[in-house]
Structure 1
Amino acid sequence: MTLAEKKDLSLRRMREALDRFGPETAVGWTGGKDSTVVLVLWRRILAEAFPGAAVRALNLDTGCKFPEVLEFRDRIARLWGLDLHVVRPDVDLNRYPLAADPLSCCRDLKIIPLNRAVAELGLPALLTGVRADENPDRAGRPWLEDYGGHSRAAPILEWTELDVWTFHVREELPWCSLYDQGYRSLGCMPCTGQSGSGERSGRDRRKEESMERLRSLGYF
């Protein structure tokens, strides 16, 4: 598919999500390039169907995020007038063994607070920036999944990294300054470095190899 065809498919999926789950649907916005594309497209869909409706965005702040990502998040949220909900884990980071065990770390700092927030906010569905080519586990996933109590949609599932950057440039979208410093995928500071040959080569390999298990627990 061409990028134009992928964009059309993504918009159709979002309209379907809107029909099924309503404007209370939120974007799981990390501040990264992929979920920013989803956020931009979702704003357009909402503006068409529900002019003036609040654009809900759910952001997970583990306490270990890069300052540049947090600055970008807050600046864009103000600029675009987002209904931003920032979720934080109920963990004492001064005592927590960060990155010692990637499964436990992702569960305690990401999955548990994320699921708690979705339930507390009563979100029927969450739109994510998950792409099939990021990880082998993500390649076989459907674009819409039931997570027991809410659904998750990956409207840009077929997009490539090049597609995402092409869209950013064509649409003149903003992005986090870390991308200009050699980062291709942004996560928590202890588990993220500047990337090498692969987009996620800067990520903790143990976590990447455990993606199937993390997904079963509720990870994006």
Structure 2
Amino acid sequence: MSSLLTYKSWNDEIPSFSDSDESKGALPVLEWAYKHYGDSIVYASSFGIESIVLIDLIAKVKDDATLVFLDTDLHFKETYEVIEQIQNRFPNLNIRLEKPELTLKEQEEVHGSELWKTNPNLCCQIRKITPLKKALGDYEAWISGLRREQSSTRSHMNFLNKDDKFQKIKVCPIIHWTWKEIWRYVYKNNLPYNKLHDQGYPSIGCMPCTAPTHDLNDLRAGRWAGTKKVECGLHES
């Protein structure tokens, strides 16, 4: 493909990838993405267990890749600890922490206390969606660690996706990986990971909106538990 694949140039002639190799397509997709986009692609990492696998795979392709983490100021201390461990393990990676425009105190002054309880969608908009839009900036594409197995809302994801929310190409290299395969890779490669995973947190977000769960049929059951909310909005078109 000679011309750059962008949101505006999206068409039916996008490249296809097989999931039959050992990485289930992840490495070929990443190799294509970094060769195709160069410095115009960024990985938006949550530093959850899927992210740990993806970071290791990315480092094999581009060891000085840029990662952005949406620092909402509401994360668990264990999340910040694993970010530091990953930076030590992969010193060439460029890890950027993207902050919201409003501090928690400013958000409280404008919208009242504990906005994540009174209006969680607005809280996610302020602390995650708007900062990601800023972080993506002039990048043509971004990488995400979504897997089809995670939830019904993610079961349709492809390796390459037209992202209408951010008007970028969203690259999802590990869509075919299973939960067991993720953990097998982490243990095999002795990768650092968030220790909350060992305490019943399969999916880890902000502290007020994340609870432990042992429902392996719904790995995101601990996110916004007791509400109808299932996504922060980053992956909704």
Normalised TM-score (structure 2): 0.79
Q: 1:18 aligns with which of 26, 31, 34?
A: 34
- CA–CA distance in structure 2, aligned partners of residues 44 and 62 of structure 1: 29
Larger CA Rg, structure 1 vs 2: 2
Aligned match of 1:101:
119
Q: Post-superposition shift, 1:8?
A: 4.4
Are the equivalent residues in 2 in contact too, given 1:11–1:155 (CA < 8 A)?
yes
Q: Post-superposition shift, 1:191?
A: 0.8
**Structure 1: stretches of 5+ with no match in the other structure:** 48-53
The residue matched to 1:207 in structure 2 has which SS? coil
2:201 pairs with 1:201: no
Q: Post-superposition shift, 1:124?
A: 2.6
Q: 1:127 aligns with which of 143, 168, 179?
A: 143
Q: Post-superposition shift, 1:214?
A: 5.5
- CA–CA distance in structure 1, aligned partners of residues 236 and 192 of structure 2: 32
- CA–CA distance in structure 2, aligned partners of residues 165 and 38 of structure 1: 12
Q: Post-superposition shift, 1:149?
A: 4.8
The residue matched to 1:146 in structure 2 has which SS? strand
- CA–CA distance in structure 1, aligned partners of residues 160 and 75 of structure 2: 28
- CA–CA distance in structure 1, aligned partners of residues 123 and 25 of structure 2: 35
Are the equivalent residues in 2 in contact too, given 1:6–1:158 (CA < 8 A)?
no
Are the equivalent residues in 1 in contact too, given 2:49–2:193 (CA < 8 A)?
yes
Q: 2:73 aligns with which of 63, 68, 71?
A: 63
- CA–CA distance in structure 1, aligned partners of residues 22 and 132 of structure 2: 28
Per-residue CA deviation, residues 24-47 of structure 1 (Å, 9 max, x unaligned), is 422211111101111110110125
Q: 1:175 aligns with which of 184, 193, 197?
A: 193
Are the equivalent residues in 1 in contact too, given 2:54–2:145 (CA < 8 A)?
yes
**Structure 2: stretches of 5+ with no match in the other structure:** 1-18
> What amino acid is the match of 1:207?
K
- CA–CA distance in structure 1, aligned partners of residues 195 and 79 of structure 2: 8
Per-residue CA deviation, residues 123-181 of structure 1 (Å, 9 max, x unaligned), is 23211111111111110122212335532111001111111001111111111111122
- CA–CA distance in structure 2, aligned partners of residues 214 and 56 of structure 1: 19
Two-structure CA RMSD over aligned residues (Å)? 2.1
Are the equivalent residues in 1 in contact too, given 2:59–2:90 (CA < 8 A)?
no
Kindly, what percent of the aligned residue pairs are identical?
26
- CA–CA distance in structure 2, aligned partners of residues 132 and 100 of structure 1: 30
- Work out the number of aligned pairs and report it: 205
Are the equivalent residues in 1 in contact too, given 2:211–2:223 (CA < 8 A)?
yes
Superposition pairs of residues 1-220 of structure 1, within 5 angstroms: 5=21, 7-46=23-62, 54-81=64-91, 82-94=93-105, 95=108, 96=111, 97-119=115-137, 122-147=138-163, 149-197=167-215, 198-204=218-224, 205-208=227-230, 215-216=235-236
- CA–CA distance in structure 2, aligned partners of residues 178 and 167 of structure 1: 18
Q: Post-superposition shift, 1:71?
A: 1.5
For the structure 1 residues 66 and 4, does the alpha-carbon distance in structure 2 shift closer, same or farther, using more than 3 Å as the test?
A: farther
Per-residue CA deviation, residues 63-114 of structure 1 (Å, 9 max, x unaligned), is 1110110111123213311211110111232305123223222211111110
